[in-house]
């Protein structure tokens, strides 16, 4: 008889092994189904199959999005770097130690990070931080191919929690492309994007008094193009594939990834596009030793992306302790890249948890 156990085995035997309890994916999934609106599963969307016919294939689905004409984020940001890297490189100066938060897939590294690096006068080192080991390995391979003399370090970690310690670096350059900074869930009743501001403050607190940060974000205010980008079939499949990853990588019982459908909503007052998983029917299941019951039509908010105007992001950077030097946008003003440096001012908005 053909052995099919590899196709059905759980990542953990939770009757004997409770190591899954410390897995961030498990913790976030439990919080999600426990009713928290502060959970973002997007960091877990990117995934790779572990066996033949594995339906968990976030990396493959992501590649379809990057090639889509309607998904503007990467191409718009690449346009900014292509047209303005000379000017940005002049601001950076010589002997930069690059620290990149979330390098992304190899094509993003090529179109954005390396486009800037090729214009820089000299680079002393490159360090990448990401939760995805695949993204980190792609970045190292790309960087070493074109810059074999540059030391490359990789850290598989949450870059918001990682201690940068730029004080020991000659000319630190923090690179943060994509829209990750604006994907942090916010409280619905907040007057400011408090959690985004807190994340920027954490970065500033780990920064020294010298160096620069080059940070990109989605500044698009055209609702039609936003829905075209995030409502397309390929992006929906990519986002919903994370429920197959829950079933594969976590100890579950009666959990059906096909028991949900996707719905997106735009909340203008918060510049927020939120994605829900809507239960198709009444269902109950277990994750670990936790029982969950959902009713038909119940919405689970599992992903948020914020489209802050460039002016608002500049204000947030100032409140977080950065001096805003310049902002560049693409021809359609969909993406923005800001150049920031640590401010020496102590007149900062107090954030007790930062």
Q: Which tokens belong to 290?
A: 């936790």
pLDDT at 269: 87
| Residue 136, pLDDT score | 92
Query: Which residues partner with 267 through β-bridges?
Result: 272
Per-residue tokens: 99:
């620290």
* C-beta neighbour count of 30 within 10 angstroms: 17
- The reported pLDDT for the residue numbered 252 is 96
**pLDDT score, position 133:** 85
pTM of the model: 0.84
The pLDDT of residue 350: 53
**CA 168 vs CA 209, 210, 282, 294: distances in Å:** 11, 11, 56, 51
| pLDDT average per 10 residues of sequence, the chain (354 residues) | 39 62 92 90 90 93 88 95 96 95 90 96 94 88 95 88 74 92 72 85 85 96 96 96 97 97 94 96 96 98 94 95 97 97 68 49
Predicted pLDDT of residue 182: 84
Task: Give pLDDT, residue 192.
Answer: 73
CATH superfamily of 74-220+309-342: Vaccinia Virus protein VP39 (3.40.50.150)
**Cα diameter, the chain:** 72
The Cα 130–Cα 136 span in angstroms is: 6
pLDDT the model gives residue 16? 56
pLDDT at res. 18: 75
Residue extents of the structural domains in the chain: 74-220+309-342
CA distance to 40, 57, 138, 328, per residue, from 335 (Å) = 22, 28, 24, 8
Burial 100-112 (b: 16+ CB within 10 A, else e): bbbbbbbebbebb
DSSP string covering 214-280, please? EEEEE----HHHHHHHHSSHHHHHHHHHHHHHHHHHS-EES--GGGEEEEEEEEGGGTEEEEEEEES
User: How is the beta sheet containing 252-253 ordered, strand by strand?
Assistant: 252-253, 283-287, 290-294
Q: What is the pLDDT of residue 85?
A: 96
Eight-class DSSP state of 166 = G
Transcribe 16-81 into DSSP letters. T--GGGG-HHHHHHHHHHTT-SS---GGGT----SSTT-S--HHHHHHHHHT-SS--HHHHHHHHH
Residue 8: its pLDDT value, please?
Answer: 39
Name the DSSP letter for residue 167: G
Asked if residues 229 and 70 have their Cβ atoms less than 8 Å apart, the reply is yes
Confidence (pLDDT) at 95:
94
């Amino acid at each position: 008889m053909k052995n099919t156990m590899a196709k059905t085995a759980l990542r953990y035997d939770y009757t004997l092994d409770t190591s899954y309890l410390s897995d961030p994916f498990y913790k976030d999934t439990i919080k999600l189904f426990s009713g928290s609106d502060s959970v973002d599963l997007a960091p877990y969307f990117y995934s790779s199959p572990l066996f033949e016919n594995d339906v968990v294939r976030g990396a493959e689905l992501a590649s379809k999005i990057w090639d889509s004409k309607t998904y503007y984020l990467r191409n718009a940001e690449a346009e900014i770097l292509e047209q303005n890297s000379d000017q940005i490189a002049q601001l950076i100066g010589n002997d930069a130690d690059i620290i990149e938060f979330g390098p992304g897939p190899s094509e993003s590294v090529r179109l954005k990070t390396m486009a800037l690096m090729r214009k820089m006068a000299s680079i002393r080192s490159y360090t990448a931080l990401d939760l995805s080991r695949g993204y980190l390995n792609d970045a190292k391979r790309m960087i070493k191919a074109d810059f074999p003399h540059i030391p490359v370090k990789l850290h598989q970690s949450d870059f918001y929690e990682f201690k940068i310690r730029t004080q020991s670096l000659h000319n630190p350059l923090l690179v943060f492309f994509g829209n990750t900074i604006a994907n942090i869930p916010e409280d619905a009743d907040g007057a400011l994007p408090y959690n985004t501001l807190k994340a920027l403050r954490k970065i500033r607190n780990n920064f020294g008094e010298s160096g620069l940060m080059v940070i990109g974000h989605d500044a698009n205010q055209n609702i039609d193009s936003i829905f075209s980008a995030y409502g397309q079939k390929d992006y929906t499949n990519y986002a919903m594939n994370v429920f197959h990853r829950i079933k594969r990588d976590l100890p579950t019982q009666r959990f059906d990834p096909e028991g949900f459908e996707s719905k997106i909503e735009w909340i203008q007052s918060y510049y927020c596009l939120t994605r829900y998983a809507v239960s198709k029917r009444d269902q109950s299941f277990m994750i670990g030793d936790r029982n969950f019951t959902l009713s038909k039509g119940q919405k689970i908010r599992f992903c948020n992306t914020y489209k802050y105007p460039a002016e608002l992001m500049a204000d947030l950077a100032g409140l977080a302790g950065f001096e805003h030097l310049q902002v560049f946008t693409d021809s359609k003003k969909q993406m923005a890249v800001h150049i920031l440096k640590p401010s020496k001012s102590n007149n900062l908005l107090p954030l007790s948890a930062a």
